[in-house]
């Protein structure tokens, strides 16, 4: 997506260029995606809900633009016994449990080993993986029976997405089918106001919700909510976004090894606000972290984006 051409629709229906804070939020989402280390970013803004929409737009656009065949191959090779994949046979997608990843009998060709619908062992050679095998479920369970899956969503059939991203990228993302963006927010509130701003790029109108897939209506997902009462296992390269002081305080310790951004509303209660700041200060000192604010400033300068007035930002990287 050519974000430099992005506009938003105002309340009177006219198209306007993005405001500086909108660009900043989008670019911050892109920046944290590019960093390979588990960077942490604390940012205090006048409206964390609105800011989070633009941040997620930047992060999700990066995901659409940068699917990696190497990362996907790594996921195939690291499939564990009991995980589920979708395997396309005869035009149908069928869910299979993994037995192991090894090689074809009497061959050096790598293969995913599953049990087929006749309960016999089937070898899926590497040459078929990128077009016929989708990651389906990271949960490791006992070996289950095969199951025909009918609501398999094909990203390459989405005309709007095809205007923004190549079919090759959509195909890779679809086969990977593993969210790289995780969100801890008030789910109802976040979804209720998700489309308050509509966008337009090069004559094509869209809503942010049209880029987000939770896996609730189809088999594809690219964003997952972090539930308060459940522990989450997320890929090391993924980011966790916390919207609000309370949510950050409750869950941030579970994501020490991951990239995190804490989007805090300046109107949060003073107690929670101060508690989070104190915790960040203690974690920063105890883990011998160092600030990377300078790197963010340099990145924004390259993009000709200013940090908005009144916005407080602190970024750090642990050395422990």
User: Is the distance from CB of 278 to CB of 245 less than 8 angstroms?
Assistant: no
- Distance (Å, whole) CA 186 – CA 243: 8
Question: Exposure string (b/e) for 212-230, b if CB count within 10 Å is 16 or more?
Answer: bbbeeeebbbbbbbbeeee
Q: How far is 48 from 61, CA to CA, in rounded Å?
A: 20
Residues 58-67, mean pLDDT to the nearest whole number? 96
Alpha carbon 276 to its chain centroid, in Å, reads 24
Statement: residue 118 has pLDDT above 90: no
Residue of 90 and 239 predicted with greater confidence: 239
Neighbours of 281 (CB within 10 A): 11
CA distance 226 to 232: 7
CA distance 118 to 223: 35
Under the banding of pLDDT at 50, 70 and 90, the label for residue 232 is low
Q: Sheet containing 15-17: which strands, arranged edge to edge?
A: 15-17, 6-9, 198-201, 204-207
Residue 230 — very low, low, confident or very high, per pLDDT cuts 50/70/90?
low
Residue 247: per-residue pLDDT = 85
Q: What is the dihedral of CA 214, 146, 234, 240, to 10 degrees?
A: 0
CA distance 261 to 246: 14
- The rounded mean pLDDT for the chain is 90
319 pLDDT band, cuts 50/70/90, is: low
Q: Is the pLDDT of residue 311 over 60?
A: yes
pLDDT of residue 200: 93
Per-residue pLDDT, averaged over 93-106, amounts to 94
User: Residue 271: what pLDDT?
Assistant: 66
Half-sphere exposure in the Cβ direction for 40 (13 Å, CA): 23
d(CA 95, CA 141) in angstroms, rounded, equals 13
- Tell me what the mean pLDDT of segment 128-144 comes to: 86
Distance CA 216, CA 286 (A): 40
* 14-60 pLDDT tens trace: 999 999 999 999 999 999 999 999 999 999 999 999 999 999 999 99
Q: Are strands 239-243 and 181-184 parallel, antiparallel or unpaired?
A: parallel
Q: What would the mean pLDDT of 174-186 be, rounded to a whole number?
A: 93
Query: Do residues 97 and 143 lie in contact, with contact meaning Cβ atoms separated by under 8 Å?
Result: yes
Distance CA 13, CA 197 (A): 11
Cβ–Cβ < 8 Å for 173, 155: yes
pTM, entire model: 0.91
262 compared with 10, residue with greater pLDDT: 262
- Name the residue among 29, 46, 31 with its Cα closest to residue 309: 46
State what percent of residues in the chain have pLDDT above 90.
64
Q: What is the mean pLDDT of residues 205-219?
A: 88
Instruction: Yes or no: say if 22 and 16 are a contact pair by the CB < 8 Å rule.
Output: no
- Residue 277 pLDDT grade (very low, low, confident, very high; cuts 50, 70, 90): confident
The total number of residues shown for the chain amounts to 320
Q: What is the pLDDT of residue 69?
A: 93
Confidence of residue 222 (pLDDT cuts 50, 70, 90): very high
Predicted confidence at residue 256, as pLDDT, reads: 86
Give the C-alpha distances (Å, rounded to integers) separating 113 from 89, 103, 193.
Answer: 15, 8, 45
Residue 141 has a CB neighbour count (10 Å cut-off) of 11
Cα–Cα dist 66/266, whole Å: 33
Cα–Cα distance, 307 to 101 (Å, whole number) = 48
Q: Are 244 and 48 in contact (CB under 8 A)?
A: yes
């Amino acid at each position: 997506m050519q974000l430099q051409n992005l506009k938003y629709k105002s309340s009177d229906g006219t198209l306007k260029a993005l405001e500086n804070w909108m660009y900043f939020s989008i670019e911050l989402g892109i920046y944290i995606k590019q960093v390979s280390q588990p960077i942490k970013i604390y940012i205090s803004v006048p409206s964390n809900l609105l800011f989070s929409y633009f941040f997620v737009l930047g992060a999700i656009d990066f995901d659409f633009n940068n699917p990696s065949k190497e990362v996907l191959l790594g996921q195939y090779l690291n499939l564990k016994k009991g995980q589920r994949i979708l395997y396309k046979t005869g035009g149908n997608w069928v869910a299979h449990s993994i037995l192991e990843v090894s090689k074809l009998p009497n061959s050096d060709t790598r293969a995913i080993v599953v049990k087929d619908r006749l309960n016999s062992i089937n070898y899926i050679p590497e040459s078929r993986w990128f077009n016929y095998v989708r990651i389906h479920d990271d949960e490791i369970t006992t070996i289950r029976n095969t199951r025909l899956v009918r609501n398999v969503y094909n990203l390459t059939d989405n005309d709007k997405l095809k205007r923004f991203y190549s079919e090759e990228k959509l195909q890779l993302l679809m086969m990977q089918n593993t969210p790289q963006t995780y969100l801890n927010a008030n789910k109802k509130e976040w979804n209720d106001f998700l489309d308050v701003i509509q966008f337009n790029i090069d004559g094509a109108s869209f809503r942010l919700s049209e880029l987000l897939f939770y896996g609730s209506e189809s088999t594809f997902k690219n964003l997952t909510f972090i539930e308060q009462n459940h522990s989450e296992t997320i890929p090391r390269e993924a980011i966790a976004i916390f919207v609000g002081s309370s949510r950050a305080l409750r869950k941030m310790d579970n994501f020490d090894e991951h990239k995190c951004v804490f989007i805090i509303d300046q109107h949060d209660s003073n107690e929670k606000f101060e508690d989070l700041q104190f915790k960040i200060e203690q974690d920063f000192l105890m883990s011998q972290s160092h600030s990377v604010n300078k790197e963010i400033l340099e990145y924004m300068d390259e993009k000709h984006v200013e940090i908005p007035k009144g916005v407080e930002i602190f970024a750090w990287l642990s050395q422990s």
